[in-house]
């Protein structure tokens, strides 16, 4: 009897709310996307054919490509400036987004190369936050458990990452605070100049 009632409830629910099927699939897909990205990163990092300093550039290139394809760097760039974004011309926005995206991908690539190896990662769950979904993960190490949350947005049929919160500290929020302090005393053109120099230095390393 219980099974019949449960089946009837689910039938009526999805009949009245047909979009719920897609929503549930989309939500479960957010965790799947994070797991896929992390698994691919760890596979690159631990690939026997990519070990050693002679393969560092190849390993770095593969990680960089994975990050570029998995993150919404353009939207992260816009959010990192908060209200300063509305004051920019279309040309300035394009210039800033390009520099921010390059610097973020480079920075996050270095973080993955230095930090992420073959890890044991738990996925406690995910929660909807407006149009976004937060996927919670915990990196389980012998002497420490590191909480890392990923904020994702569904773009078409694919989930993409728009923020990473490590031990309670958000990546986008960190950029916001840093750029806001800088722009209180400097012009936007000066910020662009500094970012361009930083990008050039990173390319030469």
- pLDDT of residue 125 exceeding 70: yes
How distant, in Å, are the alpha carbons of 80, 113, 139 from that of 143? 33, 21, 11
| Pick from 1-15, 133-147, 186-200: least confident | 1-15
Least confident of 11-15, 70-74, 86-90, 126-130: 11-15
Q: What are phi and psi of 128, to 5 degrees?
A: -80, 135
Tens of pLDDT, residue by residue over 131-158, are 899 999 999 998 899 999 999 999 988 9
* Residues 63, 120: Cα–Cα separation, whole Å: 19
Residue 75 or residue 22, greater confidence: 75
Per-residue confidence (pLDDT) for residue 200, from 0 to 100: 86
β-bridge mates for residue 159, sequence order: 154
The confidence band for 201, taking pLDDT boundaries of 50, 70 and 90, is confident
- Looking at residue 82, the DSSP 8-state letter turns out to be G
Domain map (residue ranges) of the chain: 2-204
The pLDDT confidence band at residue 63, using thresholds 50, 70 and 90, is: very high
Proportion of the chain above pLDDT 90, given as a percent = 75
Q: Confidence class of residue 18 from pLDDT cuts 50, 70 and 90?
A: very low
pLDDT at 154: 93
pTM of the model: 0.82
pLDDT at 68: 96
For 2-204, the fitting CATH number among 3.40.50.11030, 3.40.50.880, 3.10.450.710, 3.40.50.300 is: 3.10.450.710
pLDDT digits over 85-98, tens only? 999 999 999 999 99
Instruction: Report which secondary-structure segment, H or E, holds 127.
Output: strand 120-129
Q: Residue 110 pLDDT more than 60?
A: yes
Whole-number pLDDT of residue 21: 42
């Amino acid at each position: 009897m219980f099974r019949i009632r449960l089946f009837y409830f689910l039938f009526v629910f999805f009949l009245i709310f047909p979009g719920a099927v897609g929503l549930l699939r989309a939500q479960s897909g957010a965790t799947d996307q994070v797991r896929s990205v992390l698994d691919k990163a760890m596979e690159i990092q631990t690939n026997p054919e990519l070990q050693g300093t002679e393969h560092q550039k190849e390993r770095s290139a593969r990680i960089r490509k994975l990050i570029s394809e998995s993150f919404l760097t353009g939207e992260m760039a816009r959010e990192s400036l908060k209200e300063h974004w509305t004051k920019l011309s279309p040309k300035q926005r394009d210039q800033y987004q390009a520099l921010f995206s390059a610097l973020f991908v480079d920075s996050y690539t270095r973080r993955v190369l230095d930090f992420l190896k073959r890890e044991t990662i738990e996925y406690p769950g995910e929660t909807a936050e407006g149009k976004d979904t937060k996927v919670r993960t915990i990196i389980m190490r012998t002497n420490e458990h590191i909480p890392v949350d990923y904020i994702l947005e569904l773009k078409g049929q694919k989930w993409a990452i728009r923020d990473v919160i490590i031990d309670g500290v958000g990546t986008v929020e960190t950029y916001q605070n840093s750029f806001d302090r800088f722009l209180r005393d400097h012009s936007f053109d000066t910020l662009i100049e500094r970012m361009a120099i930083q990008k050039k230095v990173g390319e030469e390393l």
